[in-house]
A and B are shown apart, each in its own frame.
Chain A
Amino acid sequence: MAVFKINVNGKVQTVEAEGDMPLLWALRDMLGLTGTKYGCGIGTCGACTVMAEGYAKRSCQMTLAEVGEDKIVTIEGLSKNGDHPLQKAWIEHDVPQCGYCQSGQIMRAASLLLQTPKPTEDEIKEAMDSNLCRCGTYVRIFEAVKSVAKESK
């Protein structure tokens, strides 16, 4: 057992756990941040996507020991009042069906727009292909991301 100080949503938090515990389970079981979801455990579905230093990371594939001083942002920390442009676009385009994968989808899109504020349609598809949605909300996700990309400066 070791003690880790990790920066999550702008707050340094102490987690006492094994160093090989994936960030996903630390967030969920230790810090009560349950917006980040378990989907596959092997990095193929993207339901657990968070941002580390602005880059989309699959939290099931990143151990606590690897987090280091990276600033982690989860869906709970994306905005104060749920008013990040992507969150608003998700509501406006009525994206969610079951909703389970959408935290990961939004975090993937947020990272894309941080790195590439004006992505092409192909760049949106390439980035979002990493995230599975079994309800098949892809068309609306695409439109939602596109609408925010269009407005970004």
Chain B
Amino acid sequence: MNATLTRRSMLQIIAGSGASLVLGTFSSAACASPAKGATFAPSAFLKIDPDGSVTISINRSDMGQGVRTSFAMLVAEELDADWTKVKVVNAPGDDATYGRQGTGGSGSTRGMSKQLRTIGASARLMLIGAAAKQWSVDAATCRTENGKVFGANGKSVGYGELTEAAQSIAVPETVTLKENANFKVIGKATKRVDNHDVVTGKAKFAYDVSVEGMVFAVCLRPPAYRATQSAIDDSETRAIPGVLDVIAIPSGVAVIAKNTWAALKGRDKLKVTWTGGSPDVSTRTLRADLKKAVVAHKAMTGTKVIEASFELPYLAHAAMEPFNAIADVRDDSAEIWTGSQSPDGAQNQTARTLGIPKEKVIVHNLLLGGGFGRKFSNSWVAEAVDLSKRLKKPVKLLWTRECDITHDTYRPMSEHIMKAALDATGNPTGWSHQYLQAPAGRGNGEYGANTYLPYEIPEAGMRGGGVDSPVPTGPWRSVEHSQLIVVNECFMDELAHAAGQDPLAFRVKLMKSPRLKKVLESAAKRAGWGTAMPAGSGRGIACFDGYGSCIAHVVEVTFADGEVKVTRMVAVVDAGTTINPLGVEAQVQGAFVDGIATALRSAITIRAGGAAEDNFDRYHWARMSDTPKMEIFIEDSGGNFGGMGEVGYPSVPAAIANAVFAATGKRVRQFPIKVEELV
């Protein structure tokens, strides 16, 4: 990418949200260590110290997708930094300084790459300017490499020695970003910046933080959604050594204690009477309601009509790190430590709740132990703030695993009613997808089927709808694509067979997206698509174009002894321009494990108006032995940096289901796949 920016737009970009550019100083909350005299800090995102270290502030949340590494790579590339001297810190929640910080929808790299590169490129020109001034030479005769400026005179100087002089150099009018061919950092397999801290146990998540004088809190939450406590008997709880208090809050009952264990024990001794909720609601009633909400498909013409319906369950996020936060609410300020996908949201929300200016709320956003879309709401931050305000001391709140799984905002349960028609040559002449959710999501009524269909299909329509449900729902990895693409790719397979055509050839023939077509054909070729498989095994294919990237999966499964086993996976991904191949590969690996888990075993069941599964003994996720060897190939088309957090998931359950059909001759109608129906 080559972008020339005007001085005005660059100033805005560097300043983040249009605030004026401040050279050599930081906003107070911008960085853990205050700016020293000779620190060169042309932006809140970047500072260079006299020791040559380059510190980059990361304004989006790293929940495992690797933005701390990839963002640093973007800045380092344009800065020509010495990678061994690059340090990374998390920006606090502060949208006035850092712009929007909500992290999701694979928006981080796509939204931030130009800004980060521009910051690096601008700082580089200013460092060159400082060196040229020292040497009394034309800046145009200087070049940079690995954290140093080199002059045509044979002299060189490290960035660290230029930090003071660079502060008086004018911000460049324009910067030209590097051509892809000149990248030295971008595209290079780069290990995560946090690896050493992680493997030594030093990496800090919010619950690892300790604040002087803090007390510990855990909550008991209602067994049914929307139920509230009508009576609390806390006598046994208060008798537990270490328990300090019991406080009813809107979302449940909090036990305050001197340590986590006392709080947990106290919680288990609470006797709470719950009223309200929807005790009559269950997965069974919701499924029946969804089936009643089906309407007639619009008429379509063709020689062959294919109809099918698919049932998808609620899915919990179950990030390894459950919600937690420390809140320290004082008279006219507050300080929060948490891991949020929306740290700026935490700041704004807390300021509103407490009625104080947002600058008075400091939100330290730590590493997130997984997120997957769950850690946006900051509801847990609100609980910690509420408790700290009442107790007038710092409160460290932990959601237990049971709180996390039973009070998640689930990927919605859905029913998909599919119909398509084929003409005499096997070409589709119509497509209808009814997408019914509990509760009904966005996109109620008719909407663009083509957004979710990379295929040329005339008269394609989609209708969204649903039924009332008390079950809380929210975004989950790949959001609506986790339902729509899974179903569409299963149904495409079914159409191909109905047309008497190979599922790969059928897709390729109808494919609108040249990028997707390329990865699909490549994956098929690499996997040996079309070669014979042993009895009891099968191969399936599926693909997805979304979030700026394209991916195709070929999966092999066996079905034996009542068990589906995924035995091989081949994926080809086009991330436009890959920043970090190791990161892209990791996302494809992780999303594939999600696909195995949700195709074969994970589901949340609703009983008596609440979740039946409350921990990993019943909410089963994939383990190492479920995971086959993965052959992953990055075949970039060279365009914009694509998103990678979401794209790897949707085609996986579909490819597995299609492989199950190839192995057993039975179509998958429900996820997770019911093995008893495959015999």
- The answer to whether B320 touches A98 (Cβ under 8 A) is yes
CB distance from A122 to the nearest CB of B (A): 9
Is there a chain B Cβ closer than 8 Å to A44's Cβ? yes
CB distance from B164 to the nearest CB of A (A): 35
- The answer to whether A94 touches B582 (Cβ under 8 A) is yes
CB distance from A96 to the nearest CB of B (A): 4
- The answer to whether B320 touches A101 (Cβ under 8 A) is yes
Partner of A106, one of B199, B204, B593, B624: B199
Is there a chain A Cβ closer than 8 Å to B63's Cβ? yes
Residues of A contacting B208 in the complex (Cβ-Cβ under 8 angstroms): 28, 34
- The answer to whether A96 touches B201 (Cβ under 8 A) is no
- The answer to whether A100 touches B320 (Cβ under 8 A) is yes
Residues of B contacting A18 in the complex (Cβ-Cβ under 8 angstroms): 241-242, 261-262
- The answer to whether B369 touches A99 (Cβ under 8 A) is yes
CB distance from B585 to the nearest CB of A (A): 9
Residues of A contacting B629 in the complex (Cβ-Cβ under 8 angstroms): 139
In angstroms, Cα B586 to Cα A78, docked, is 26
Residues of B contacting A25 in the complex (Cβ-Cβ under 8 angstroms): 259-261
- The answer to whether B261 touches A136 (Cβ under 8 A) is no
- The answer to whether B624 touches A142 (Cβ under 8 A) is yes
Partner of B66, one of A29, A45, A97, A102: A97
Is there a chain B Cβ closer than 8 Å to A137's Cβ? yes
- The answer to whether A139 touches B627 (Cβ under 8 A) is yes
CB distance from A149 to the nearest CB of B (A): 14
- The answer to whether A29 touches B200 (Cβ under 8 A) is no
- The answer to whether B195 touches A37 (Cβ under 8 A) is no
CB distance from B322 to the nearest CB of A (A): 8
Tell me the nearest residue of chain A to B202, going by C-beta: A35
Residues of B contacting A86 in the complex (Cβ-Cβ under 8 angstroms): 199
In angstroms, Cα B405 to Cα A134, docked, is 13
Q: Which stretch from B414-422, B454-462, B492-500, B614-622 is at the chain A interface?
A: B614-622
Residues of B contacting A97 in the complex (Cβ-Cβ under 8 angstroms): 64-66, 586, 590
Is there a chain A Cβ closer than 8 Å to B630's Cβ? yes
Is there a chain B Cβ closer than 8 Å to A103's Cβ? yes
In angstroms, Cα B241 to Cα A39, docked, is 24
| Per-residue interface assignment for chain B, residues 369 to 381, with 1 indicating a CB less than 8 Å from any chain A CB and 0 otherwise | 1111000000000
Residues of B contacting A78 in the complex (Cβ-Cβ under 8 angstroms): 200
- The answer to whether A38 touches B261 (Cβ under 8 A) is no
CB distance from B668 to the nearest CB of A (A): 21
Is there a chain B Cβ closer than 8 Å to A3's Cβ? no
- The answer to whether A44 touches B205 (Cβ under 8 A) is no
Residues of B contacting A133 in the complex (Cβ-Cβ under 8 angstroms): 320, 593
- The answer to whether B589 touches A90 (Cβ under 8 A) is no
- The answer to whether B199 touches A96 (Cβ under 8 A) is yes
Residues of A contacting B205 in the complex (Cβ-Cβ under 8 angstroms): 37, 100
Instruction: Specify which of A87, A125, A136 lies most central, judged by the most chain B CB atoms within 10 Å of its CB.
Output: A136
- The answer to whether B367 touches A99 (Cβ under 8 A) is yes
Number of A residues contacting the other chain (C-beta, 8 Å)?
61
- The answer to whether A38 touches B64 (Cβ under 8 A) is no
Residues of B contacting A47 in the complex (Cβ-Cβ under 8 angstroms): 320
- The answer to whether A99 touches B623 (Cβ under 8 A) is no
Is there a chain B Cβ closer than 8 Å to A21's Cβ? yes
| Per-residue interface assignment for chain A, residues 127 to 148, with 1 indicating a CB less than 8 Å from any chain B CB and 0 otherwise | 0110111111111111000000
In angstroms, Cα B644 to Cα A97, docked, is 13
Residues of A contacting B636 in the complex (Cβ-Cβ under 8 angstroms): none
Is there a chain A Cβ closer than 8 Å to B178's Cβ? no
User: Would you list which residues of chain A between 30 and 56 have a CB under 8 Å from chain B?
Assistant: 30, 32-42, 44-45, 47
| Per-residue interface assignment for chain B, residues 200 to 234, with 1 indicating a CB less than 8 Å from any chain A CB and 0 otherwise | 11111101101000001000000000000000000
CB distance from B274 to the nearest CB of A (A): 22
- The answer to whether A135 touches B370 (Cβ under 8 A) is yes
Tell me the nearest residue of chain B to A145, going by C-beta: B624
Chain B contact residues: helix, strand, loop or mixed: loop
User: Would you list which residues of chain B between 511 and 557 have a CB under 8 Å from chain A?
Assistant: none
Partner of A96, one of B194, B242, B622, B627: B194
**A126-B260 CB under 8 A given contacts A41-B401, A97-B586, A135-B370:** no
- The answer to whether B369 touches A98 (Cβ under 8 A) is yes
Give the interface residue-count category, chain B: 35 or more
Residues of B contacting A114 in the complex (Cβ-Cβ under 8 angstroms): none
In angstroms, Cα B242 to Cα A39, docked, is 23
**A74-B616 CB under 8 A given contacts A134-B621, A137-B590:** no
Tell me the nearest residue of chain B to A79, going by C-beta: B200
Residues of A contacting B134 in the complex (Cβ-Cβ under 8 angstroms): none
Is there a chain A Cβ closer than 8 Å to B318's Cβ? yes
Is there a chain A Cβ closer than 8 Å to B400's Cβ? yes
CB distance from A35 to the nearest CB of B (A): 2
Residues of A contacting B368 in the complex (Cβ-Cβ under 8 angstroms): 98
- The answer to whether B369 touches A37 (Cβ under 8 A) is yes
In angstroms, Cα B617 to Cα A47, docked, is 14
CB distance from A42 to the nearest CB of B (A): 6
Residues of B contacting A142 in the complex (Cβ-Cβ under 8 angstroms): 624, 627
| Per-residue interface assignment for chain B, residues 303 to 340, with 1 indicating a CB less than 8 Å from any chain A CB and 0 otherwise | 00000000000000011111000000000000000000
CB distance from B448 to the nearest CB of A (A): 31
Is there a chain B Cβ closer than 8 Å to A68's Cβ? no
CB distance from A132 to the nearest CB of B (A): 6
In angstroms, Cα B197 to Cα A103, docked, is 10
- The answer to whether A94 touches B321 (Cβ under 8 A) is no
In angstroms, Cα B624 to Cα A125, docked, is 6
- The answer to whether B320 touches A39 (Cβ under 8 A) is yes
Tell me the nearest residue of chain A to B593, going by C-beta: A136
Instruction: Specify which of A90, A97, A125 lies most central, judged by the most chain B CB atoms within 10 Å of its CB.
Output: A97
CB distance from A105 to the nearest CB of B (A): 10
- The answer to whether A37 touches B321 (Cβ under 8 A) is yes
Is there a chain A Cβ closer than 8 Å to B592's Cβ? yes
Residues of A contacting B451 in the complex (Cβ-Cβ under 8 angstroms): none
In angstroms, Cα B192 to Cα A95, docked, is 9
In angstroms, Cα B210 to Cα A95, docked, is 27
- The answer to whether B210 touches A32 (Cβ under 8 A) is yes
Residues of A contacting B471 in the complex (Cβ-Cβ under 8 angstroms): none
Is there a chain B Cβ closer than 8 Å to A75's Cβ? yes
Can you offer 23 A-B residue contacts whose CB atoms are under 8 A? A28-B207, A35-B200, A37-B320, A37-B321, A38-B398, A45-B616, A76-B200, A82-B196, A91-B195, A94-B192, A96-B195, A96-B199, A98-B62, A98-B64, A98-B368, A98-B369, A106-B199, A125-B625, A126-B625, A129-B623, A132-B623, A134-B318, A137-B590
Sample of 19 more A-B contacts, CB < 8 Å, known A25-B261, A37-B320, A132-B616: A17-B259, A28-B260, A34-B208, A38-B398, A39-B401, A44-B615, A44-B616, A90-B198, A91-B196, A95-B195, A97-B586, A98-B62, A106-B199, A126-B625, A135-B320, A136-B593, A138-B589, A138-B622, A141-B624
Q: Which residues of B pack against A, CB within 8 Å?
A: 62-66, 191-192, 194-205, 207-208, 210, 216, 241-242, 259-262, 264-265, 318-322, 367-372, 398, 400-402, 582, 586, 589-594, 615-617, 621-625, 627, 629-630
